[in-house]
Amino acid sequence: MNIKDIIEKKLSEVILNVYQLKEINLEIQENKTEFEGDFTIVTFPLVKQLKKNPESIGIELGGALTEYSDLFESFNVVKGFLNVKVKNQLFVDNFRSVSSDFDTIEKKNSTVMVEYSSPNTNKPLHLGHVRNNLLGFSVAQILKEAGYDVIKSQIINDRGIHICKSMLAWEKFGKGETPESTNTKGDKFVGNYYVEFDKNYKTEIAELVAKGSTEDQAKKEALSIIEAQKMLLDWESGDETVRNLWKEMNSWVYKGFSETYKRLGVDFDQIQYESNTYILGKDLIQEGLDKGILYQKEDGSVWCDLTDEGLDQKLLLRSDGTSVYMTQDLGTAVERFKQNNIQKLIYTVGNEQDYHFQVLFKILKKLGYSWADQLFHLSYGMVELPNGKMKSREGTVVDADDLMEEMHETAKLKATEQGRLEGLSEEEKVASYEIIGMGALKYFMLKVDPKKKMLFNPEESIEFNGNTGPFIQYTYARIQSLLAKADYQYKEVTAVDANQFEKELIILLVNYKNVVEKAAEALSPALVANYVYDLVKSYNSFYQNQSTPIVKLEDENLKQFRLNLSDITAKTIQKSLKLLGIGTVNRM
């Protein structure tokens, strides 16, 4: 139990004893003001019930706390705010408890599946995918740390009209070339043909418009789109030639994806493919028709009426019998709950799909799946660049691989300029550039609340000062240097007179597990990112506000305490960064 919780419990007991009031929760704040005391208790909620002024209540309550409890040393009241000074030993005991159960995780006996990435096999991963993957992976890490069993999954969108567009363009313009023959990464190779299709399609539309067609007519009548639609029908009917081409081009893409995931530092426990689950979705739709939950129009298309739910009517099966995204997502959800004993399923998908998931969850509920209440859409804001949104079909995206390489090179440039890695071998330097560069990218992406749209600035992300990944990594490396210089070994310290900087640091260290719980509940890595930044700032204040450097202290007990404090801070920084998928270096 952290110090705040202990104070809160004792405060409730005193309020009950003195005022006979139950369930009164007064706000307790860490005191960082010029007033004496470690914590401030806000007494104003008692004013109305007791019909007394806040200052009188503060004096009464402060007196009762010091009289009926051995936790408090003294108190003072300023304008109705009760400032209490906690006995020093409570901080020392609390710090010792952090050290003793540092690696303890209380299991929740609940399994959560987190879906993220879920790319299309017609293009490489880009900046938007980077935020998605980092967010999903970090949420999975945080849930594990909070005691949940976690299954990391992705559904690969490996079929549909968009896939056929790349295939068709390769058939028309590829001349048999492969990723190997062109020395091109597989996902980029296929993505180039998706862009090529779009260029050719636009040319055909322009030609039809010039001949008198409306733009809407031209979009439907252009030869390219008609051929792509036919290819999709051929694929769904099992045409061997189309299927073989599809398998080969997808294999190129998967190899490329695997390389990107490895460098990004994310992985998956389960992978599903829409080419399998869309069939299951069709079975569900037939079941819904049989039960009268869904209805069929004269053209043969199948719909779900959600107007009673405040939504609209949703197409689930086209008139030609082909499925839509919703069809596949229905099948995938059912399959996941059949195959796994999961209590919650989290979809990490951008906020452009908010309505889609509202509809998905409502339809599953209508179809009678009680677990539909345990589905959650982790909706996040889009990543934009200074010049606006990205468009993959036009080839105007920030490629994930190019971005990671740029971060590596920027880290190399900055570290070299500042002489931070001198003395390391070339191999060690390269490994450090990668950890620092990727740390900068990940921290910049994850420190922003998931719900917020973000503007990505690579240059800003890799600064060695301020709220950045490299600044936090540097503090960790600085502590490692201190511990090495002191030839540190852990020894328990029983009593020490902690100063205000040490107390603030202890409060933050004790609060780690509470932050993890809140981050798991909110599905927000930003809470962990902001916590570790606060921890680093607090440690730096502690480190800089010492009259004598730690290694030169003559008081061995105090020296050991401060080294213990530094060690557990470093471990907490490392653990927090790991939850964000970020590594550390010992020299920087």
The amino acid occupying position 132 is: N
Q: For the packed helices 500-510 and 512-522, what is the interaxial angle rounded to 10 degrees?
A: 40
DSSP 176-209: T--HHHHT--HHHHHHHHHHHHHHHHHHHHHHHH
| pLDDT at res. 390 | 44
Structural domains of the chain sorted by starting position, each given as residue range(s) with its CATH number in brackets: 3-86 (3.30.1360.70), 117-394 (3.40.50.620), 410-421+439-579 (1.10.730.10)
Cα angle 365, 369, 371 (rounded to 5 degrees) comes to 95
User: Is it the case that residue 393 has pLDDT exceeding 80?
Assistant: no
DSSP 305-341: E-GGGTS-EEEEE-TTS-B-HHHHHHHHHHHHHHHS-
Q: Where are the alpha helices (DSSP H) in 42-149?
A: 47-50, 54-68, 88-100, 127-145
238 half-sphere exposure, CB direction, 13 A CA radius: 2
User: Is it the case that residue 328 has pLDDT exceeding 80?
Assistant: yes
DSSP 432-470: HHHHHHHHHHHHHHHSS-TTS-EE--HHHHT-SSSSSHH
| pLDDT at res. 398 | 84
Nearest to 443 by CA among 254, 579, 297, 243: 579
Q: Cβ distance 405 to 185 under 8 Å?
A: no
User: Is it the case that residue 108 has pLDDT exceeding 50?
Assistant: yes
Which residues fall within 8 angstroms of residue 328, CB to CB, at 6 or more apart?
274, 277, 278, 281
Q: How many CB atoms lie within 10 A of CB 370?
A: 9
| pLDDT at res. 395 | 47
Nearest to 359 by CA among 329, 380, 338, 317: 329
User: Is it the case that residue 73 has pLDDT exceeding 60?
Assistant: yes
Q: For the packed helices 556-579 and 88-100, what is the interaxial angle rounded to 10 degrees?
A: 50
Report pLDDT digits (tens) over 193-247. Answer: 999 999 999 999 999 999 999 999 999 999 999 999 999 999 989 999 999 999 9
Place of tokens 């006979």: 20
Place of tokens 């979809």: 347
Average model confidence (pLDDT) across the chain: 92
Average pLDDT over residues 270-295: 90
Report pLDDT digits (tens) over 543-571. Answer: 999 889 999 999 999 999 999 999 999 99
User: Is it the case that residue 31 has pLDDT exceeding 90?
Assistant: no
| pLDDT at res. 387 | 59
Give the SS3 label for residue 238: coil
User: Is it the case that residue 394 has pLDDT exceeding 50?
Assistant: no
Nearest to 367 by CA among 324, 322, 306, 320: 306
Give the SS3 label for residue 414: helix
User: Is it the case that residue 588 has pLDDT exceeding 90?
Assistant: no
Report pLDDT digits (tens) over 437-479. Answer: 999 999 999 999 999 988 877 777 788 788 999 999 999 999 9
| pLDDT at res. 464 | 79
